[in-house]
Amino acid sequence: MARVNDNYLKLKAGYLFPEIGRRVKAFTEANPSAKVIRLGIGDVTEPLPPAIVEAMHKAVDELAKRESFKGYGPEQGYDFLREAIAKNDFQARGCDISADEVFVSDGSKCDTGNILDIFGLDNKVAVQDPVYPVYVDTNVMSGRTGEADGSGRYAGLVYLPCTAENNFSPSLPTEKVDLIYLCSPNNPTGATLNKETLVKWVDFAKKNDAIILYDAAYEAYITDNSLPHSIYEIPGARECAIEFRSFSKNAGFTGTRCAYTVVPKTLTGTTSSGERREIYPLWMRRHTTKFNGVSYPVQVGAAAAYSPAGKEQIAKLVGFYLENARLLREGLQAAGLTVFGGVNAPYIWIKTPGGQTSWEFFDTLLSKAHLVGTPGSGFGSCGEGYFRLSAFNSRANIEEALSRATKLLK
């Protein structure tokens, strides 16, 4: 009798974004003439940089000729890309990360879920609250939690509240934890962890023999020079952290698909009998057995992000979205809202006005201003009363959205 994985039955109704999709669909079907502007899902809108397009065309042409055809590549990614990543994203910032510690993948969403494969089910897992739902859901699916309570919190997980009161920077856990997800610049709050704070986290992890799963998918949006781009800028992080990065939000790869995970060779965990083991060969085994590498033209495109032209074009692209974020932040503040984030991040985190719940504000914005955002409560119980807007859009849409929101809030 084929048995299903009962853990899936613990998952609360639909993943956040499908639920938003359902509500928007119902609204647009009932109001076909409404011009809905979507600031919900954090999806880029601007075309791929020309340097990347050119590189991808060349790579497709290589696949068209026998002498340059590429079959299976290394599962971990081609050296040309791993080396460009190690050099530009890490070594250039003084981080001691080598190319063979970089594992190229098709997405950070996949990586942050898949990484759990190599860890025992008995690890105590800490997440920020609000949190990117994939961290939580993949832990539920793999059986590291009990049932959810009324607020949507799963038994067994340690939730680290991030609210205006602590400036969206979580306190160190007061109980023993083994795996800690940190996301900076943060999705959904747009908050960033500064060096002093990250030092505290690295020290905590080392002292408690915990591993930090550091999601830096929005690293490109950091404009403040004092902020760390990588956790490996912190001494000791090679002994306690895995870092996730993506080409989605800097190079516009949400539909093109490329990301990477850094697993330092100096990172260790223990077996159930207390023996110390390197994490690196476990992830290597997982990645080579359950994955077959990223599409060749996509890897060539990603590598072009590090060419001089690519870098310049990406800086412009990121600058464009950051200007959107500035307009949203300042415009909504002027309209009377309390607004966080949007400085070193593409996300604006709003305190919902008039004591509305997050979903009430969602429905208000959708029905009265035809704007779609993301309810903060969808990211966790501490997100209740907050609302996320994304700066990924055309300038015209951002301006129109601001004008509608301002009218609504008058």
**Residue among 33, 225, 226, 271 that touches a second copy (CB under 8 A):** 271
69 versus 88: smaller Cβ distance to a second copy:
69
Q: CA nearest 188: which of 232, 228, 136, 145?
A: 136
Minimal distance, residue 210 CB to a second copy, in Å: 6
**Residue among 289, 319, 323, 338 that touches a second copy (CB under 8 A):** 289
**Residue among 36, 73, 87, 91 that touches a second copy (CB under 8 A):** 73
- The answer to whether residue 256 forms part of the interface with a second copy (CB under 8 A) is yes
Beta pairing, strands 268-270 & 338-341: unpaired
- The answer to whether residue 71 forms part of the interface with a second copy (CB under 8 A) is yes
> Which one-letter amino acid corresponds to residue 288?
T
Minimal distance, residue 331 CB to a second copy, in Å: 23
Q: Residue 268 CA to chain centroid, in angstroms? A: 24
Q: Give pairs for 313-319: CB < 8 Å, separation 24+.
A: 313/49, 313/50, 313/51, 313/52, 314/49, 314/220, 314/250, 314/251, 317/46, 317/49, 317/250, 317/251, 317/252, 318/220, 318/221, 318/250
Asked whether 312 and 151 are in contact (CB, 8 A), the reply is no
- The answer to whether residue 114 forms part of the interface with a second copy (CB under 8 A) is yes
Interactions with a second copy, residue window 155-184 (CB under 8 A) = 178-179
Asked whether 104 and 258 are in contact (CB, 8 A), the reply is yes
The residue behind tokens 């009161």 is: 165
- The answer to whether residue 270 forms part of the interface with a second copy (CB under 8 A) is yes
Minimal distance, residue 188 CB to a second copy, in Å: 16
Structure tokens belonging to residue 60:
């497709």
H/E stretch holding 340 reads strand 338-341
- The answer to whether residue 187 forms part of the interface with a second copy (CB under 8 A) is no
50 versus 336: smaller Cβ distance to a second copy:
50
- The answer to whether residue 292 forms part of the interface with a second copy (CB under 8 A) is yes
Interactions with a second copy, residue window 194-223 (CB under 8 A) = 208-211
Site string for a second copy, 138-157 (x = CB under 8 A): x--xx---------------
Region of 114-122, 193-201, 304-312, 398-406 interacting with a second copy (CB under 8 A): 114-122
Compute the half-sphere exposure of residue 235: CA atoms within 13 Å on the CB side of its CA.
Answer: 0
Minimal distance, residue 284 CB to a second copy, in Å: 9
Asked whether 219 and 225 are in contact (CB, 8 A), the reply is no
CA distance 318 to 408: 29
Minimal distance, residue 119 CB to a second copy, in Å: 6
- The answer to whether residue 265 forms part of the interface with a second copy (CB under 8 A) is no
Interactions with a second copy, residue window 6-25 (CB under 8 A) = 6, 8-9, 11, 15, 18
Structure tokens belonging to residue 159:
């939730």
Asked whether 211 and 179 are in contact (CB, 8 A), the reply is yes
Minimal distance, residue 160 CB to a second copy, in Å: 17
**Residue among 31, 46, 164, 336 that touches a second copy (CB under 8 A):** 46
H/E stretch holding 242 reads strand 241-246
CA distance 341 to 330: 11
- The answer to whether residue 307 forms part of the interface with a second copy (CB under 8 A) is no
- The answer to whether residue 387 forms part of the interface with a second copy (CB under 8 A) is no
**Residue among 22, 31, 35, 60 that touches a second copy (CB under 8 A):** 60
Q: 296-304 and 50-63 helices cross at what angle (nearest 10)?
A: 150
- The answer to whether residue 123 forms part of the interface with a second copy (CB under 8 A) is yes
255 versus 355: smaller Cβ distance to a second copy:
255
Region of 109-117, 186-194, 307-315, 376-384 interacting with a second copy (CB under 8 A): 109-117
Minimal distance, residue 226 CB to a second copy, in Å: 30
Beta pairing, strands 386-390 & 347-351: antiparallel
**Residue among 22, 31, 35, 69 that touches a second copy (CB under 8 A):** 69
